[in-house]
Amino acid sequence: MMHIKVKSKDIRLSLPIPYIILNVAISLVSSKFIQQHVNKWTKESFERKKIDVAFPQLDIDLLKPIIKELKHYKGMVLVDVKAKDGTEVKVKL
C-alpha cells in the first residue's frame, strides 16, 4: 500500500492507496481512449502558448511490472518534499 501525506498550515491529509487502485489507474491512463482525449484537450492550450508537445502512448505492459516490484520495497520513501511555506508532501510505500 502506498501512503501519501500532505501537511500544510490549513490541512493535514493522509491517503492510503492500495496497489489494486494503482493498477486500475494505470489501466485507465494507458488506454487509447484516454490518451486521445488528453492530447485533444491539451492541444488547444499548447497551441495558444506555442508549445509543441504531444504525450507519448503509455505502455501498460511496461508499467504493471513496476507496480509489482514496488510491493517488495515496503517502507521506502519515494518523495519527501518540504516547501519554504511549510507545506510537506511525503509518499511512502
Give pLDDT, residue 35.
82
Q: What total number of domains does the chain contain?
A: 1
Name the pTM for this structure. Answer: 0.68
Give pLDDT, residue 76.
94
Give pLDDT, residue 49.
77
Give pLDDT, residue 79.
93
Distance CA(75)–CA(39), nearest Å, equals 36
Query: Crossing angle of helices 60-70/19-29, nearest 10°?
Result: 170
- Here the cell at position 39 is 492530447
Listed residue (4, 12, 57, 6) closest to 30, CA to CA: 57
State which residues form the domain around 23: 2-92
Question: Is 29:58 a contact under the CB 8 Å cutoff?
Answer: yes
